[in-house]
């Protein structure tokens, strides 16, 4: 369960009340000027609709509202900025993000609250902003199915360099729900170093980062239900490296260009000694397995013809978490996709995916999947970063 969770009805009522309140105030469409009580408050909502059709089993086709999010953000005063995102996904409404940030002397920034931890590249994005419709396999298999969201905060420092830049940050979290944090026995903390550089003409830009996430101390360990095979292990360290490169064809059509990106993750873990399989008091064998590690990565290339049309390909290769404990299994995928932006506020994407699941000693299990997505925004949306 996520912390601070109210009943669905209460959250629904709160969301509806907020929308009505701002709408009646007439402020919801204006990102600048005006504002509630004379204060600019940015408010916007987004809808992410996904249809998923396994070609071999069309009867299992699903269509769902993958996410609905309500964003509210504004400076609190000259010292603090606040952003909150209420989200509906998987049939639940909850506080996805809620944080305040403050600029400190010497190029530091502090952000505290509930946040998408700045670990790796993709984790800082909401699912509708992912480069493809579905999350990369490694993201789902090793890290999270909801984004690594932590209650805590991080301190960020930017070196006084313009090109290239250097950004360092360190964060600590009391908990990370709906993520690999549930399989970490201690208080999670993370470190990240990131650099960004661009060519003089601005046509080439690259962002590269390395991240580390681990735990300090011990605490109550809730790895999940005993029936969940992932309850068998405890994660100790996660390493990540990410790269994004963009070649923008300046002077031709706006938006035309090539984007290449990818991330690599490595997870160290050990068996959970409290699990029945390894706890001698429960009849388990403490020497049954040894510590192990899993890895995975994704890489994609995307070509934008202009700011309306684009095509791309993604390759996935990922272990499934605790594969050494649960039996070697990995997934490999090939995805091709196309997208059309109606405006900045609406997008339709179509994706074909070949998913190849391989267990140790077993034959490949191939799936052909077609995904169709529509994302729509009204009002304000937090600006996109490179």
Partner 1 sequence: MRMLTSLVVLLGTLSVSTAEARVRVTTTTTDLASLVELIGGDKVGVTSLSRPLQDAHYLDATPGMVMRISRSGLFVENGLELEMGWIPEVLRETRNRDVRTGGDGHVNASEGINPIQVPERIHRDMGDVHPSGNPHYTLEPVVSQQAARNIANGLSRVDPENRDFYQANLEEYIRRSKELMAKWRGKFEEHRGAKVITYHKHFDYMLEALGVEVADAIEPLPGLAPSAGHIAGLLRSYDAETVGAVLMEPWHDQRVGRQVATGIGVPLVVGCPAVGSCDDTSCILSLFEENARRLLEAVSSRPEAATEAEE
Using rule CB under 8 A, residue 71 touches partner 1: no
Per-residue x/- track, 239-258, partner 1 (CB under 8 A): ---------x-xxxxxx---
Q: Are 176 and 148 in contact (CB under 8 A)?
A: yes
Min dist. Cβ of residue 135 to partner 1 (A):
21
Stretch that binds partner 1, among 58-66, 87-95, 104-112, 364-372 (CB under 8 A): 104-112
Min dist. Cβ of residue 115 to partner 1 (A):
14
Place of tokens 């009505």: 20
Please select the residue that binds partner 1; options are 239, 303, 345, 352, rule is CB under 8 A. 345
- HSE-up of residue 258 (Cα within 13 Å, Cβ side): 6
What whole-number distance in Å separates Cα of residue 221 and Cα of residue 274? 9
Please list the residues that pair with 268 across neighbouring strands. 237, 293
DSSP 3-state assignment of 242? strand
SS3 sequence of 81-134: EEEEEEEEECCEEEEEEEEEEEEECCCEEEEEEEEECCCCCHHHCCHHHCCCCC
Q: Are 126 and 69 in contact (CB under 8 A)?
A: yes
**Which of 295, 307, 292, 382 lies closest to 344, judged by CA?**
307
Using rule CB under 8 A, residue 167 touches partner 1: yes
Min dist. Cβ of residue 116 to partner 1 (A):
15
Integer-rounded Cα radius of gyration of the chain: 22
Kindly determine how many residues on this chain lie close enough to bind partner 1 according to the rule CB under 8 A.
Answer: 49
Per-residue x/- track, 105-124, partner 1 (CB under 8 A): --xxx---------------
Quick one: CA torsion of 27, 29, 31, 32, rounded to 10 degrees?
Answer: -60
Q: Are 186 and 215 in contact (CB under 8 A)?
A: yes
Instruction: Closer to partner 1 by CB, 115 or 319: give it.
Output: 115
Per-residue x/- track, 121-140, partner 1 (CB under 8 A): --------------------
Min dist. Cβ of residue 204 to partner 1 (A):
12
Per-residue x/- track, 187-216, partner 1 (CB under 8 A): -------x-xxx--xx--x-x---------
Report the run of H or E that residue 30 belongs to, with start and end. Answer: none
Please select the residue that binds partner 1; options are 10, 17, 29, 362, rule is CB under 8 A. 29
Using rule CB under 8 A, residue 306 touches partner 1: yes
Min dist. Cβ of residue 385 to partner 1 (A):
5
Min dist. Cβ of residue 158 to partner 1 (A):
6
**CB neighbours (10 Å) of residue 26?**
10
Min dist. Cβ of residue 252 to partner 1 (A):
7
Please select the residue that binds partner 1; options are 8, 219, 307, 368, rule is CB under 8 A. 307
State the Cα angle at 381 between 4 and 22, rounded to 5°. Answer: 70
Stretch that binds partner 1, among 162-170, 266-274, 347-355, 366-374 (CB under 8 A): 162-170
Using rule CB under 8 A, residue 174 touches partner 1: no
Burial class (CB in 10 A: 0-12, 13-18, 19+), 309: middle
The residues binding partner 1 (CB under 8 A) are 29-33, 78, 81, 101, 103, 107-109, 158-165, 167, 194, 196-198, 201-202, 205, 207, 248, 250-255, 306-308, 342-345, 378, 382-386
């Amino acid at each position: 369960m996520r912390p601070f969770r109210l009943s669905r009805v209460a959250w629904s009522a709160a969301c509806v009340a907020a929308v009505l309140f701002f709408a009646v105030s007439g402020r919801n469409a204006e990102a600048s000027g005006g504002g509630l009580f004379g204060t600019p408050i940015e408010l916007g909502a987004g809808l992410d609709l996904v249809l998923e059709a396994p070609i071999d089993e069309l009867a299992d086709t699903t269509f769902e509202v993958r996410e609905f999010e309500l964003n509210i953000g504004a400076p609190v005063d000259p010292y603090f900025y606040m952003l909150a995102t209420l989200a509906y996904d998987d049939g639940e409404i909850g506080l996805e993000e809620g944080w305040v940030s403050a600029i400190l002397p010497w190029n530091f920034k502090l952000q505290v609250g509930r946040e998408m931890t700045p670990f790796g590249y993709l984790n800082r994005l909401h699912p509708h902003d992912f480069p493809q419709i579905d999350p990369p396999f490694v993201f789902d298999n090793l890290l999270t199915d909801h984004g690594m969201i932590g209650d805590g905060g991080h301190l960020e420092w930017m070196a006084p360099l313009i090109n290239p830049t250097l950004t360092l940050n360190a964060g600590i979290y009391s908990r990370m729900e709906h993520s690999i944090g549930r399989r970490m026995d201690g208080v999670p903390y993370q470190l990240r170093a990131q650099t960004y550089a661009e060519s003089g003409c601005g046509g080439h830009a690259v962002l590269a980062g390395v991240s580390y996430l681990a735990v300090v101390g011990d605490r109550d360990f809730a790895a999940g239900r005993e029936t969940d095979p992932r309850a068998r292990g405890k994660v100790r360290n996660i390493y990540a490296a990410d790269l994004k490169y963009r070649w923008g064809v300046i002077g031709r059509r706006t938006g035309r260009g090539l984007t290449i990106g990818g991330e690599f993750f490595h997870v160290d873990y050990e068996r959970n000694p409290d699990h029945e399989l390894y706890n001698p008091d429960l009849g388990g064998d403490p020497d049954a397995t040894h510590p192990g590690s899993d890895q995975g990565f994704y890489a994609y290339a995307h070509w934008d013809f202009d700011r309306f049309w684009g095509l791309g390909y993604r390759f996935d290769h990922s272990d499934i978490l605790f594969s050494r404990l649960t039996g070697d299994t990995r997934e490999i995928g090939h995805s091709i996709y196309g997208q059309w932006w109606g405006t900045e506020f609406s997008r339709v994407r179509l994706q074909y995916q070949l998913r190849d699941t391989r267990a140790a000693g077993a034959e490949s299990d191939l799936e052909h999947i077609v995904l169709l997505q529509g994302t729509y925004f009204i009002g304000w949306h937090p600006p996109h970063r490179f």
